[in-house]
Chains A and B, each alone.
Chain A
Amino acid sequence: MKQYRMIILLGLTSLLLVFGIAYTRSRLVAAIDTEQDAVLAKWNITLNNTLITQTMTDTIALGNISWTNDHANPEKVAPGSKGIVDLVINPQDTQVSFRYDITFTDHNVDPDILLTITNMSANGNDLIHTAPNTYTGIFPLSDIEDHQTKTITINIEWINDELNNETDTQVGSGEITGELIGITFVAKQYRGEPIASIDG
């Protein structure tokens, strides 16, 4: 019985030691990471001139997109139309690095959605493809201090698919209302964690 208790005692002491060491290390790392937090690092990011950091969640409405289609009204979107959405990220006086994730629900994700995203880039450079419907980029503090902005260019298309003619016609004749696309932009403080691409 006494031996049994000794084993428990030794086990708990070892666990405590390991926890203690790990926690001490994490405290040191955290102290480095949150040094700016301690003086309330600024977090003021605008997306297309709308401040998005006032609340945890928000909705911003972009203006109408100019569509390219040789046979349709450029102010309206129709099967075969192509358009470009620009999201301009301006971190202003933000004082921490951040990552941004653009997650979308398009026709490839949900066949009921009308539009498909065909390409996405930041200042002409590829973003990290972190999930089938998510692209990620990093805005390092050095770029922020250099007063840079980043423009996310999203190419959108209503791909004409003969299999969808019936539904497309119902949308076009106003019988049903089709949902165009869903896009979510998330900016999150970046602490240097690795960001893996699903493309390998």
Chain B
Amino acid sequence: MDKTKEFNDKPIIFSLIVIMLLLILVVIIRSTHASYESNVEVTFGSETALFIYGVGTLTFNMDTEGIIPSDTAYVYPFTVNNFKDERHADVDIDYTMKIRTTTNMPLSYELLYDEEYSSSRTNKLTNEQIIQDSQGTWYKKYDVDGTYRMSWNEDHTDNFKIVVYYPISNATHTEYAGSIENIEIIIDAVQVI
């Protein structure tokens, strides 16, 4: 048999492959043809509310050079605010207080809220406890009666006074010379929900 007259299907197969590739290309191009689409990121300009209160923990020391035995009470005022400089709280705030003192000196305490020191004063300190921390140091701990609220829509200042008694009967006790007493006022403030 003459091989030159044999049916040569190579060109046909080649042509079919080319046509197939072209068709696939057309389908791919069609599938990527864009339809209408618009994307938008939506934002809004709300600010987060500020949670501001003045005085988280107030600590001060009293030493025997600053306080001497006396029948007159020592009165130390302090304030709690819902603003600080130009910033104001945007939420109502409730707070409670505790007071912790060292036991180095024979002092006793009272806490006054929004009142002057007088014979009719109301002491807010309750539940005196003597506790020892993990270091072995002894402390006196007091609860403060009540929960105090500061409303967001006004600048609010609560006035407190801590009253310290160092009885004159200690005037002859030299063992307290050079002692320092630490008073810590702890304020726990929470947003009102």
Let me know if A172 and B91 touch, CB within 8 A.
Answer: yes
**Chain A: which residue is nearest B47 at the CB level?**
A76
Give Cα distance in the complex from A87 to B52, angstroms. Answer: 33
A180–B26 CA distance with the chains assembled, in angstroms = 46
Q: Indicate if the CB atoms of A185 and B191 lie closer than 8 Å.
A: no
In the assembly, what is the distance between CA of A55 and CA of B37, in Å?
Answer: 9
Contact call A53/B9, Cβ cutoff below 8 A: no
Q: Given contacts A71-B192, A189-B37, is CB(A12)–CB(B23) below 8 Å? A: no
Contact B91 A188 (CB under 8 A): no
- CB nearest to A20 among chain B residues: B23
Q: Are B36 and A43 in contact (CB under 8 A)?
A: yes
A188 CA to B13 CA in the complex, in Å? 42
Q: Is the CB of B44 within 8 A of A184?
A: no
Write the nearest CB–CB distance from A30 to chain B, whole angstroms: 7
Contact of A188 among B24, B37, B191 (CB under 8 A): B37
Complex Cα distance, B47 from A178, in Å, reads 10
> Is there an interface contact between A184 and B191, defined as CB atoms closer than 8 Å?
no
Given contacts A76-B90, A78-B49, A172-B50, contact A59 B27 (CB under 8 A): no
By a CB distance below 8 angstroms, the chain B residues around A61 are 43-45
Residues of the A chain whose Cβ atoms lie less than 8 Å from the Cβ of B24:
19
Say whether A60 contacts B91, CB under 8 Å.
Answer: no
State the Cβ distance, A54 to closest chain B Cβ, in Å.
8
CA distance A187 to B153 in the complex (A): 42
The distance from the CB of B152 to the nearest CB of chain A, in whole angstroms, is 6
Pick the contact of A64: B46, B49, B50, B92 (CB < 8 A): B46
Of B14-22, B102-110, B112-120, B123-131, the stretch lying at the interface with chain A is: B14-22
Q: Which of B19, B87, B153 has the most CB of A within 10 A?
A: B19
Assess whether B153 is in contact with A58, with CB atoms less than 8 Å apart. Answer: no
A58 touches B38 (CB 8 A): yes
* Contacting residues, chain A, for B152 (C-beta < 8 A): 71-73
Contacts A57-B41, A75-B46 known; 9 new A-B pairs at CB < 8 A: A47-B42, A52-B40, A58-B38, A61-B44, A65-B44, A69-B91, A72-B152, A73-B153, A77-B46
Sample 30 A-B pairs with CB under 8 A, ordered by A number: A9-B16, A12-B13, A12-B17, A13-B16, A16-B16, A16-B20, A43-B36, A43-B38, A58-B40, A72-B92, A72-B152, A73-B49, A73-B153, A75-B46, A76-B46, A76-B90, A77-B47, A80-B191, A81-B49, A85-B42, A85-B44, A172-B51, A182-B41, A183-B41, A184-B41, A185-B40, A186-B37, A186-B40, A188-B35, A189-B37
What is the interface of chain A, defined by CB distance below 8 A to chain B? 5-6, 8-9, 12-13, 15-16, 19-20, 23, 26, 30, 41, 43, 45, 47, 52-53, 55-65, 67, 69, 71-73, 75-81, 83, 85, 87, 96, 98, 114, 160, 168-169, 171-174, 178, 180, 182-189, 191
